[in-house]
Amino acid sequence: MNGDASGVGGENFDWNTDDELEVNDFSLSSCSSLTPPNGEAVVGCGEARSTAGCSNSKLIDHFIGMGFSKKMVSKAIQENGEENTDSILETLLTYSAIESSPRGQHDVDSDNSSLDSGGSFLDDFSDIDSSSDTEEIMIPESDVDGKLLSLVKMGYTVDEASIAIERCGQNSSLVELTDFICAAQMAKVADAHFPELPLEVKPKLKHCDFSKHKKRKLSDYAMWKKKRRNGVHDDDDETIHLPNPMTGFGAPGEPCQTISRTLPEAAVGPPFFYYENVALAPKGVWTTISRFLYDVEPEFVDSKYFCAAARKRGYVHNLPIENRFPLLPLPPRTIHEALPLTRKWWPSWDQRTKLNCIQTCIGSAKLTERIRKALEDYDGEPPLRVQKYVLDECRKWNLVWVGRNKVAPLEPDEVEMLLGFPRNHTRGGGISRTDRYKSLGNSFQVDTVAYHLSVLKDMFPGGINLLSLFSGIGGAEVALHRLGIRLKNVVSVEISEVNRNILRCWWEQTNQRGNLIDLADVQQLNGDRLEQMMSSFGGFDLVVGGSPCNNLAGSNRHHRDGLEGKESALFYDYFRILDLVKCIMTKAQ
């Protein structure tokens, strides 16, 4: 479940977060990889000076246009070959970071031919002992350290870089790592307020003080190295390590996994239960959730393996995991499959194939107009610094291309399609577009949930009795309906009148023949009321729900209090009600 976006800008990012929003304000630090050490703005690739008489002159010009010296570029190409541009860029970033350090500057001044020597720049990247506040920087000990240093040079903090490498895996490319950092940074976007166009995007900008920023980043790197060497770990390390890839106990089209699990005795039904919340919650949250839900191991799944949008969630359930099957027809898996009309206008430098997590708010017309003006300043492909600014905003707000130099946010019906709901599902409540986005942003991804619930179809051929807590707009109900599982009796508990109206309208439009009982407050649902309802239709077959994530998601910077927060503490009501249902059903047997 998604909380309403709230947070503040800046560079101090809390990494125990969901990937629901992307990069925050596009600061000077975030574009440092495109700013040369002398602080002057970099011209685009088309403005780079040419290097004649050489077969790889075009490639050299490309990197010179990014601010690297010809000698450095030649050395990097010689080490990596002309074909592997990613490796060339990584090497150049590492060279540049080293060259800009005090020791590196000394080495360059004393030996201008250092790039032509047999050794690598890394050979000279030894300890720095300075009387200033700069900590010692050691030789990178592995490819991981090299990537870490490259990310630091690009303007990201050591904490951001190290957690990205841990989460994405040591073999991840720089592109994957920067995408992950952008996704985590996006979770800090507070609301729909937008900054002015970053200075580095304005064509007239010529100077910025990059040296102090880079010095601090390299100091962070040194401090991280010292902590790791001394075996010191940060107190906020996750206690549960999320899988990579995040496919849970399996996903359609993904390599088959042989997974077996034995449920704790207390978790064995009836009833079946299914609980959902954001995967990247604060430290200890999933440990607590698992402990309360009978020590069942969470299943972490990213919905990008089911549709064209990411949605990292954890699920705790006692359902079988064998013989699952997906909803048919399979939903579009890429942006261009889901939104084919955007393909015509999609620039080659926007290499997104998946959207980020669907949010409760969208980008404004002011932002899209600012992006259009930034792009129209250039006849051809914009400079890399402008590309980075545009891509950061596109990732942050899930903007798609709708014309030449024009981007736009998703429409509500497009969001419904991405999340697996029927077209116009949220119009049934007679609500505003803003409320539609909010209701959708807080919902299940139907295809993902349906895959997990598909095992119930053969088990309940006559239909199912469902207790749906925190129902929202009925993601579980829609999933069961699309699976062809008849809804005999549904008790839906949802605090939002808007969402209750949406579910009720869907129930009527789909000609459901069962009984829908809708209640407003889980805290008012006690044992007597449950026993009264269950005695009339024989108990519940499934208890499903996702309690509010307002105090769990990274978008809530001020009240991210975990399960002790005002809203997210409602998880304990999910457990309380589930335990009451189990006791009542055991007593009736």
Q: According to the model, what pLDDT value does residue 474 have?
A: 96
* Average pLDDT over every residue of 62-81: 80
Q: Tell me which of 96-100, 390-394, 429-433, 516-520 is least confident.
A: 96-100
pLDDT digits (tens, 9 = 90+) for 297-329: 999 999 999 999 999 999 999 999 999 999 999
Whole-number Cα distances in Å, 543 to 266, 277, 574: 15, 15, 9
Q: Is 10 helix (H, G, I), strand (E, B) or coil?
A: coil
* Average pLDDT over every residue of 500-522: 94
Q: From the candidates 31, 307, 394, 549, give the one annotated as an active-site residue.
A: 549
Q: How far is the first Cα of the chain from the last one, in angstroms, to the nearest whole number? A: 34
Q: Which residues of 304-343 are buried (b: 16+ CB within 10 A; e: fewer)?
A: bbbbbbbbbbbbbbbbebeebebbeeebbbebbebbeebe
Rounded to the nearest 10°, the torsion over CA 289, 291, 296, 300 is: 30
Most confident of 145-159, 191-205, 230-244, 416-430: 416-430
> Which comes out higher in pLDDT, residue 407 or 67?
407
SS3 annotation, 544-589? EECCCCCCCCCCECCCCCHHHCCCHHHHHHHHHHHHHHHHHHHHHC
Contact 418, 425 (CB under 8 A): no
pLDDT band at 555 (very low <50, low <70, confident <90, very high): low
Q: According to the model, what pLDDT value does residue 106 have?
A: 45
pLDDT digits (tens, 9 = 90+) for 121-130: 333 333 323 3
Separation of alpha carbons 85 and 379, rounded Å: 25
Q: Quick check: is 256 catalytic?
A: no
Number of H helices, E strands in the chain: 20, 9
Please report how the helices 85-100 and 102-110 are oriented relative to each other, as an axis angle in degrees rounded to 10.
90
At which residue do the structure tokens 């430098």 appear? 349
Contact 1, 162 (CB under 8 A): no
pLDDT band at 6 (very low <50, low <70, confident <90, very high): very low
* Average pLDDT over every residue of 40-48: 37
pLDDT band at 551 (very low <50, low <70, confident <90, very high): low
% the chain with pLDDT above 90: 46
> Which tokens is 493 given?
């508990």
pLDDT of residue 459 exceeding 80: yes
pLDDT of residue 139 exceeding 70: no
pLDDT digits (tens, 9 = 90+) for 317-374: 999 999 999 999 999 999 999 999 999 999 999 999 999 999 888 999 999 999 999 9
Q: According to the model, what pLDDT value does residue 211 have?
A: 44
Separation of alpha carbons 508 and 513, rounded Å: 9
Separation of alpha carbons 467 and 292, rounded Å: 19
Kindly report the average pLDDT of the chain as a whole number: 75
Q: According to the model, what pLDDT value does residue 62 have?
A: 75
> Which comes out higher in pLDDT, residue 369 or 53?
369
Containing H/E element for 402? strand 400-403
Centre a 10 Å sphere on the Cβ of residue 33 and count the other Cβ atoms it contains. 24
Q: According to the model, what pLDDT value does residue 435 have?
A: 92
pLDDT of residue 13 exceeding 50: no
pLDDT of residue 150 exceeding 90: no
Q: According to the model, what pLDDT value does residue 320 have?
A: 94
* Average pLDDT over every residue of 572-580: 93
All structural domains of the chain: 22-203 (no CATH), 265-323+422-588 (3.40.50.150), 335-419 (no CATH)
Contact 72, 95 (CB under 8 A): yes
